[in-house]
Chain A
């Protein structure tokens, strides 16, 4: 340890010897409050040095500006609150999440159902609506079915009998976005043995105490609580009322093809907006079941011939994933199912990808293929232009899935 305060620096530099000596300095050096600026012993200063110094200061200013600029431009995702709205695949633009206090798609839509639903002796209950996100509240367990058909909104109302509140007709009106979806959902739920009545603007049938209808993009189920005459009378009242009040539209082209050109029963036609035959790539597929109850012919519209060829190749690969080659006939390669022995195959004609699924033998498969091949030849190719990206994975249901509006806060 030092015993004394060290002797402060000499302030008169000249010779090394002087500077090193322990002579008393003229001033105590005060490093904290220097009046004359920092000392330097050098003799000369250069203008060049000054210029370099200024250049350095300029560089520092640039660093500062850069940091400030970076600070003012944060990563918008870092503190965004959109992500936590997406849990469970929920969309943002549904009931309960759109910016409140503003008008917008997030709010209740006016119901397309007419008001005079009830016969005398019946009362219309409260109307409720369900969006993509709370659909399960109403139909727990089945919501995925409707969502696969491009579900947009469910309007629900019960019509209650005044005398006996236990007797009711529940009306579920699904807005599925397009007529094809509505018909597809309808076809999927129609029990075997029932026959749809086809009009120009939709289909429908009465099955005991349940009424099923499609009108344009709407698919409606009205289910009575029992098969009493009162319920059947109410259903009979509802059917013409709803058929007239819901806006219809002509059946989609798939029906024109299968029913009009090929003479299928309308009830044999089905439509899968996605995942047809459990193939992830197979979207917007119209199919019709032959009289044997197993063989299906199907058609998908694509943008052009090349697209149709490519999709047909995908179908072929798909069939091959659980089958073996069954030879070439009628211009396409057929695939025999490894497990059940049925024959499937797909080809293209113009912008149409066509095919046969689950035929009992090669002969009938080739025949069915021939008929559909001929039938699509008469279709108007302009239909294909209306089909958005058919069969390529960009389906309508995905579009409904995507968030379409920002969260409020």
Chain B
């Protein structure tokens, strides 16, 4: 290996900081994908599958605003917060898997020439939008309506992966496996491709089409504006941008070397104007500008001082000098600390947030009255108003659910506030009695970590009883034994509690055709029903099941209880 032109050894060029950055991005993106891949019953083990959601400081800060607490592992947000205070927005271009995705696709489909690239990477006023979004979301969070999940990059990416990419990978593994098996091979060789190995049927998700269109649209926007999402929409980026005004290090431009060639903009990820006054709040610390500077005028420095006031002479007349060296750049400013948001716009954003709260909360869907009967939440979920303070719509619970019963809510079940939050759809799956996986992976405690003992109400939880998700009802007009003289009671067979929550009135019956049949007409014992929905799922009256679960009677809410129950002192 030959040394570089400056005489330094070859590896200082091969392993320069941008190379390390690309490797780091690939590492964190792979780690992110790996953790999603292990978010499944047979792979889970002890992996910190919600790690990226936990280290996301926006999740930690926003839930701290809405709940005044920091749940379980959310203190891990410090792992990102502290580097940001030292180095600036390193998260955005080193760790964030969504940023990496955008950067990769932007690079792959980039057909611009140098001049266009440089133009596209100049700062624009529209990049303020993210600060407005951040402010609105944080104000909403302070009121108890946590909506960061709509746009937080980690939540958005986890959700997208869970409900579009993961089932697509199942489909690929399934078809490929069938293809191999049909030719005599072992189809299970490709089960590693599947996100849900062992799932008996292809998983489906409500509204996957919309989430899919959204990700294609957002990634596609990179063709028009590079890193569109990161620069314009990302509320996490905005938060880190605000924080990075305190960062100790930043990119510094040596005005005695800079020739104002603007080449540093060629690959500038954040559009942070390194060719002029660096916008600290926009800089992703990607170091591309250092690589691209033919004059070695840029460097990453600890607490560099703005030099404008120390320049002697006049720039316009060409007599300017700094510390005795002649100035080559015509732009003396080197730093803009704070985000480019006039104070009136901060005020505007705050007022928007303040107004948005009543607009959202006065919708019927999320309140004690007028809620949707199909807003059936997973076991361990906290009461609805508290749930809305915690759920970040990341859909990890939906990803890990082994029966596919957890589905992203549409506007119908949860209103706008509840969009993409988990609800149960028993025509798709059912809540498996011995499973608490959703409570394990939830990063924010919207689904509190529960033990199996707690879920099924044994040992020290015997007095509290099992967690009820809702109550099942019979629609006798559609039930085969009740209305069609046909034996059935699959519902009783599959009822997992003991004694069974479904009983039968047995009667011998002479049918219309003279045959004598024994009909076991089922009825519900509401005290025993836990609302797991396996009866609804297995009911042969597929389209509009003759036994169906609704949210009434759920343990988590006193307002939605059904039977008169003794309430102990601390509830």
Task: A2 to B110: give the CA distance in the assembly, Å.
Answer: 12
**CB under 8 Å from chain B, chain A span 235-286:** none
Q: B47 touching A71 by the CB < 8 A rule?
A: yes
Question: Which residues of A sit under 8 angstroms from B452, Cβ to Cβ?
Answer: 77, 80, 83-84
B113 to chain A, nearest CB (A): 4
Q: B19 touching A49 by the CB < 8 A rule?
A: no
Per-position 1/0 for B465-496, Cβ under 8 A of A: 00000000000000000000000000000000
**CB under 8 Å from chain A, chain B span 151-181:** none
Q: A10 touching B440 by the CB < 8 A rule?
A: no
- Kindly state the interface size class of chain A when it binds its partner: 35 or more
The reply to whether the CB of A126 lies closer than 8 angstroms to some CB of chain B is no
The reply to whether the CB of B262 lies closer than 8 angstroms to some CB of chain A is yes
Task: A76 to B114: give the CA distance in the assembly, Å.
Answer: 57
The reply to whether the CB of A310 lies closer than 8 angstroms to some CB of chain B is no
B277 to chain A, nearest CB (A): 19
Per-position 1/0 for B402-436, Cβ under 8 A of A: 00000000000000000000000000000001101
Q: B16 touching A50 by the CB < 8 A rule?
A: yes
**CB under 8 Å from chain A, chain B span 269-317:** 290-296
**Residue in A closest to B498 when the chains form the complex, CB atoms:** A87
The reply to whether the CB of A110 lies closer than 8 angstroms to some CB of chain B is no
The reply to whether the CB of B80 lies closer than 8 angstroms to some CB of chain A is no
Question: Which residues of A sit under 8 angstroms from B110, Cβ to Cβ?
Answer: 31
Task: A53 to B111: give the CA distance in the assembly, Å.
Answer: 30
Contact for A8 among B20, B31, B113, B260, CB less than 8 A: B113
Contact for A13 among B17, B263, B440, CB less than 8 A: B263
**Residue in B closest to A40 when the chains form the complex, CB atoms:** B291
**Residue in A closest to B287 when the chains form the complex, CB atoms:** A49
Question: Which residues of B sit under 8 angstroms from A78, Cβ to Cβ?
Answer: 44, 436-437, 440
Question: Which residues of A sit under 8 angstroms from B9, Cβ to Cβ?
Answer: 47
Do A38 and B6 contact each other (CB < 8 Å), given the known contacts A16-B261, A16-B263, A67-B51? no
**Residue in A closest to B459 when the chains form the complex, CB atoms:** A86
* Among listed A54-62, A288-296, A328-336, interface-contacting one: A54-62
Task: A14 to B295: give the CA distance in the assembly, Å.
Answer: 9
The reply to whether the CB of A229 lies closer than 8 angstroms to some CB of chain B is no
The reply to whether the CB of B506 lies closer than 8 angstroms to some CB of chain A is no
Question: Which residues of B sit under 8 angstroms from A52, Cβ to Cβ?
Answer: 17, 20
The reply to whether the CB of B15 lies closer than 8 angstroms to some CB of chain A is yes
The reply to whether the CB of A409 lies closer than 8 angstroms to some CB of chain B is no
Question: Which residues of B sit under 8 angstroms from A81, Cβ to Cβ?
Answer: 434
Contact for A6 among B16, B47, B116, CB less than 8 A: B116
Q: B107 touching A47 by the CB < 8 A rule?
A: no
Do A60 and B451 contact each other (CB < 8 Å), given the known contacts A19-B261, A37-B14, A41-B291? no
Q: A53 touching B261 by the CB < 8 A rule?
A: no
Q: B45 touching A42 by the CB < 8 A rule?
A: no
Q: B436 touching A43 by the CB < 8 A rule?
A: no
Chain A's interface: helix, strand, loop or mixed, by majority?
loop
The reply to whether the CB of B48 lies closer than 8 angstroms to some CB of chain A is yes
**CB under 8 Å from chain A, chain B span 12-69:** 12-20, 23-24, 27, 31, 35, 38, 44-48, 51
Question: Which residues of A sit under 8 angstroms from B509, Cβ to Cβ?
Answer: none
Question: Which residues of B sit under 8 angstroms from A87, Cβ to Cβ?
Answer: 456, 458, 498
B385 to chain A, nearest CB (A): 29
**CB under 8 Å from chain B, chain A span 14-41:** 14-16, 19-20, 22, 31, 37-38, 40-41
The reply to whether the CB of B345 lies closer than 8 angstroms to some CB of chain A is no
Question: Which residues of A sit under 8 angstroms from B27, Cβ to Cβ?
Answer: 60, 63-64
The reply to whether the CB of A388 lies closer than 8 angstroms to some CB of chain B is no
A293 to chain B, nearest CB (A): 36
The reply to whether the CB of A73 lies closer than 8 angstroms to some CB of chain B is yes
The reply to whether the CB of B8 lies closer than 8 angstroms to some CB of chain A is yes
Do A53 and B17 contact each other (CB < 8 Å), given the known contacts A14-B294, A19-B261, A46-B8? yes
B7 to chain A, nearest CB (A): 9
A8 to chain B, nearest CB (A): 7
Q: A83 touching B458 by the CB < 8 A rule?
A: yes
Per-position 1/0 for B94-114, Cβ under 8 A of A: 000000000000011011111
The reply to whether the CB of A74 lies closer than 8 angstroms to some CB of chain B is yes
B501 to chain A, nearest CB (A): 14
Task: A14 to B293: give the CA distance in the assembly, Å.
Answer: 10
Do A38 and B19 contact each other (CB < 8 Å), given the known contacts A70-B48, A74-B45? yes
Do A63 and B434 contact each other (CB < 8 Å), given the known contacts A13-B263, A41-B263? no
Ordered by A's residue number, 20 sampled pairs between the chains whose C-beta atoms are within 8 Å are A6-B113, A9-B114, A14-B294, A16-B262, A16-B263, A20-B115, A22-B113, A38-B18, A38-B19, A42-B294, A45-B12, A45-B16, A56-B20, A57-B20, A60-B23, A60-B24, A63-B31, A64-B31, A78-B436, A83-B458
